[in-house]
Every structure is written in structure tokens, then in C-alpha cells.
A and B are shown apart, each in its own frame.
Chain A
Amino acid sequence: MRKTAEIVVIGGGVIGTSIAYYLAKEGRDVVILEKGDLASESSGACDKAILMQSKKPGIHLELALKSAEIYKTLADELEYPIEYANDGGMIVIETEEELAVMKQFVKKQREIGLKVDLLDGKQARSIQPALAKHIIGATHSDQDAQVNPIYATLGFATSAKRLGVEIYQQTEVTGIKVESGAITAVETNRGQISTRNIVNCTGAYAPFLGRMVGINIPIRPRRGQIVISEPMPKLIKGDMLSAKYIAAKHNPDIVEKAKDKATQMGIGLSLGQSDSGNLLIGASREFVGYDKSTTYDALSAIIQNAIRIIPALRNINMIRNFAGLRPSTTDGLPILGGTELNGYYIAAGHEGDGIALAPITGQLMTELICHGKSSIDLSLFHISRFGDQKLKR
């Protein structure tokens, strides 16, 4: 292993590899340390949506729109087939209540510049013929896109490598050395690397890396279970979410107050189909610590929920299921930027949007690290919004 590096990126998910790539493009000397394999955590256990419609109207949506622009030419730039497609996205509406919520949502989204249409049931079924008859409407945006998240991660990593980034897998960071207020080295199970700068890109694990230097990083793992079907001819175009999912995502109260099991587990439809023809059927949103197992209850609820909306699913086989840990913050926004400790940067907590936001996160963090400021102001994402960073002992 290398003895020194200018910048150590910790975590080989989509966020870490993206940042390493853009830093290397700026000529920086970077290594990535990954405790498992690349994309072995959330970035390899998720959906493939670059969704604009699910983002909070505001700075969150603005970042997502910028990121979506970058994705359009990313495969060429990285010279890697990341299976990008611009197939649009739909949010299906089942009740009048949901319709009212979505109308408000759409209005705000349009103000930010998202092109989104409100469709009635018939129009929705003309785009997605597989939809159930009881669907009363949908929102639809051509700006929603798709990517293979594993290939996006491997694409960033491969290009980063080409630019000189060294990637150490099966290398776990176990400690961070600080002397007189400055970082001096990173300790791993395979030895030590001297450095002055680290970027904590460990997703749901970010708090552990914060603790090593006494910084409290308020990120919690939020489990998402997902079902994979056998490959089949095109059934779903682009991505599909249910308005219920949006509600669960933006109103945690609904989930906390709910009595039925499915809502408590945060079940909401997210559906897409990969290039290989497999359907990705999600998902739950559960706070159960670092437990990555799948449960019968959640899988059953996910499947029943999906069949209600796409009845044809009942005749299709599930071949696999898995769970990933979304890195979650209380306000749904990632933590981006520096900290009280000189040279210690954080880019983590993207919850259910890390794939969509990876390119813009990489670019802005690179600007911040190299020039001390970024073209889009990141202060709203700074860890200080959660108050005192010092870990209480």
C-alpha cells in the first residue's frame, strides 16, 4: 500500500468514486479506501432512478437537475457503459387525497423549472399500459432518467484509476490520527497512509468515521428492501413511484402515526426494469439499525403493493431479494462540506437519492476542496445545520 497521499477518499460507493474521479481530473493525488468491494453497500443494493420528481422542490431539486444534465454525457466522458437511459418517470395516484397533495407538489416543482405533467388515468395507462384500472391519475416527467448504479460506480472508479487514483479494496479505515489540530494519517487494517485531507464518503457508516475524530455525524441507516423478478420483455417504461412513496418520503409523520404494518415499514412502490429485463420492485423505508437482512413481512407487503398497481406482476417470478442501507438525515438532505477539523470533509447522507446526486456531489466537493468554494453554495448542506458537531462523551 501507498505510504502517503494528498487526499484520502474513504468509501468506494457511488459518492466516493465520483469525488475521487473529479479530484483526479483536477490533478489531485487521491487514493480510495474501501472496506469491502466497490459498490458493496448502498450503491450496489438500490434502484436505478435518476428521479427529479421525488426531490424536495428547492435546493435539493436544483442539485438533482444539475446532476441529471451531467449524466447525459457521463458514459462518453467515463468511456464506460453505465446503461444511462432517459425514459421518463411516473408517479401514480390512487386516491383523491393523494391527487390533492401531488397538485401542490407539481406547482412547486414547476416553479423550480422541472417539466412535469399531471395526467388522468387514461393518459397514464397510455404511457404505462400495465397500470391497474383504479389508478385515477399520475404525474409524469420526461426529465427523469435511469442508470445502472453499480456500473456508474465502477465507471467512476475505472476512469479515476486511469487518471492515477489508487483504489484499495478490502481495506478498512480503523482510525484517523490528528496532531495539533490537523489530520496526519489514516490507519487501516493493512497499514497506515500519511495524509492531511480525508473525505468521509462512507454513507450510512459515516458516523463511525466521525467518531474517530470526535465529530458527531447525525446519519442513520434506513433499510430498503427490494425484490428482483425474472427477466422479461418490456413491461415498465422508465421509473414508476406511487404518490404514497412521496408522502412517506417527505412526511415521516405519516409513517410514525400509521397503524397498518405496510405503512409502518414505509412501503411505497418504486418500480423499474433493468436493461437485462429484470424488474426492480421496491421498497421499504425502515429504521432497524445496521441489519441488512430481508424480512418476509416487508417482501410480502412490497409485492402485494406492487400487484395492486401492476396486476400482471402476480404471474411473474421473484428470483432474488436484498436490502440496502440508505444513509439518512433528519431533513432528507445530504451532509456536504468541511468540518471544524481542518482537512476533514464529509459527503454522505444522500438517503434515497445518492445515485441521482453523485455526479454533482463529486463536482461541487472537488471545487470546495480545491478552491475553498463551490459554484453552487453548499452552506445549506453543511453539518453545522444540526448544531454542535462535538461528540458528547
Chain B
Amino acid sequence: MTETNKKEVIICRCEDVSEVEIKQAIEEGFTTINAIKKRLRTGMGLCQGRTCQKLVARIIAQETGKSMEEILLPTTRPPVRPIIMGAFEGEDQ
């Protein structure tokens, strides 16, 4: 694979973040799911990380040698499904 091709490996589709960018962030010291999320917005897209969270975790594991369990700590918030805001109307305030 050439350098340009490599850049094209998109890990987070919603936010258009590539594998190379994630590896760079890890090198800069962002080595947790949440830290990378803050740096690159992975997991902040419409699917809320359902597609990319595991993939990001796997890259962290590869690059840092941490175990998957350690990376996917319970504090890493599970993704929620979108809810239409009108659904809250008519509730007691």
C-alpha cells in the first residue's frame, strides 16, 4: 500500500477519521478511547461509536500493548440511540 492509500483507511465513518490520524494521536499521548474521542471526535458521530469504538480500541491495543478489557473500561459510555426531542413534550415540568 502506498502512503496516500494508507490515509484512506477510515475507522470512524461518521466523523471521517483515518487509522493514520488515530495512530498519530496515540503517539501524541492520547491513549484512551475518551482521549482520542476528544482529540479526533471518533465516536461523536451519528452512530455514537457503534461502528468505530471497537476498532479504535483495537488500534490502541495494537499500539500500546494494553489489553482490550483495560481499554474498554466500564467508564467508556455505551452509545445511546438517537431520540426525537419532541418525544419529551407534554411531560410534567
Interface residue? B39 (CB, 8 A) = yes
State the Cβ distance, B18 to closest chain A Cβ, in Å: 17
Q: Mark A275-315, 1 if CB is under 8 A from B, else 0.
A: 01010000000000000000000011101111100000111
B35 at the interface (CB under 8 A from A): yes
Give A279's nearest chain B residue, CB to CB. Answer: B85
Min CB distance B15 to A, Å, is 8
* Cβ–Cβ contact B34 & A304, under 8 A: no
Is the Cβ of B91 less than 8 Å from the Cβ of A300? yes
A-B contact count (CB 8 A): 76
Q: Give B15's nearest chain A residue, CB to CB.
A: A276
Task: Collect the chain A residues with CB atoms within 8 Å of residue B92's CB.
Answer: 261
CA distance A301 to B80 in the complex (A): 19
Residues from chain B with a CB closer than 8 A to the CB of A150 are 38
Give the dominant DSSP class at B's interface. Answer: loop
Q: Shortest distance in angstroms between A165's beta carbon and chain B's nearest beta carbon? A: 12
Complex interface: chain A residues within 8 A of B82 (CB): 230, 317-319
* Chain B residues touching A, range: 20 to 34
Q: How far is the CA of A194 from the CA of B20 in the complex (A)?
A: 38
Pick the contact of B91: A230, A304, A314 (CB < 8 A).
A304
- Cross-chain contact B85 with A229 (CB below 8 angstroms): yes
With both chains docked as a complex, state the minimum distance between the C-beta of B89 and any C-beta of chain A, in angstroms: 6
Chain A, residues 189-227, CB within 8 Å of chain B (1/0): the string is 000000000000000000000000000000000000001
Q: Does A169 belong to the interface (CB within 8 Å)?
A: yes
Contacts A37-B30, A320-B44, A320-B48; A314 near B38 (Cβ below 8 A): no
Q: Does A44 contact B (CB under 8 A)?
A: yes
Interchain CB contact (< 8 A) of B89 among A167, A231, A304: A304
Interface readout for A130-164 with B: 1 if CB under 8 Å, 0 if not? 00000000000000000000100010001000000
A287 → B minimal CB distance (Å): 20
Q: Which 9 A-B pairs have the closest CB atoms?
A: A314-B86, A317-B82, A37-B35, A303-B88, A300-B88, A262-B93, A319-B82, A150-B38, A303-B85
